[in-house]
Amino acid sequence: MTQTTTTLSGQECWGLLRRHELGRLAFHLAGEVHITPVNYAVDGETILFRTAEGNKLLGVVMDSDVAFEIDGIDAQEAWSVVVRGSARVLEGQEAYRAESIPLRPWVGSDKHTVVEISADEVTGRRFALDKPWEHIGRG
């Protein structure tokens, strides 16, 4: 029997994070967990994204505990990387870090606030896909 799930190393997780630019941010707000897509870039071993005023910014300012997830799929496999950590707004000169990496808003141009996610834990898994329904009726 072949192994269908493989745990990714930290290095593999960061490699996938560096190669992609769309993920989902999970954050707390008003006693609820929210999740929203964000485009991002990796700077060292932190994740940066831009945002405007709204629930996302309010959520990370009021409670820095966040999770961030990316995933991918093709015909043979799927994978997922989850980052758990703390978010903080970068102020002043620190916010200029975002100018040296490929981080530009995909939607709207008023996203001037830069948020950094510092990882406490980075985990990932790769899944070999077995989709028998794709083979039904082929013969």
Looking at the chain, the whole-number percentage of residues with pLDDT higher than 90 is: 68
In tens, the pLDDT along 18-33 reads: 999 999 999 999 999 9
What is the pLDDT, as a whole number, of residue 14?
Answer: 98
What is the pLDDT, as a whole number, of residue 111?
Answer: 80
Residue 3, pLDDT > 60, answer: yes
Q: Give the residue extent of every domain in the chain.
A: 5-134
Give 108-128 as a DSSP string: -S---EEEEEEEEEEEEEEEE
**What number of residues does the chain have?**
139
The answer to whether residues 14 and 122 touch, using CB atoms and an 8 Å cutoff, is yes
What is the pLDDT, as a whole number, of residue 1?
Answer: 43
Residue 139, pLDDT > 70, answer: no
Average pLDDT on 35-46 reads: 94
Identify the CATH class of 5-134: mainly beta
In tens, the pLDDT along 52-95 reads: 889 999 999 999 999 999 999 988 889 999 999 999 999 988 88
pTM value?
0.86
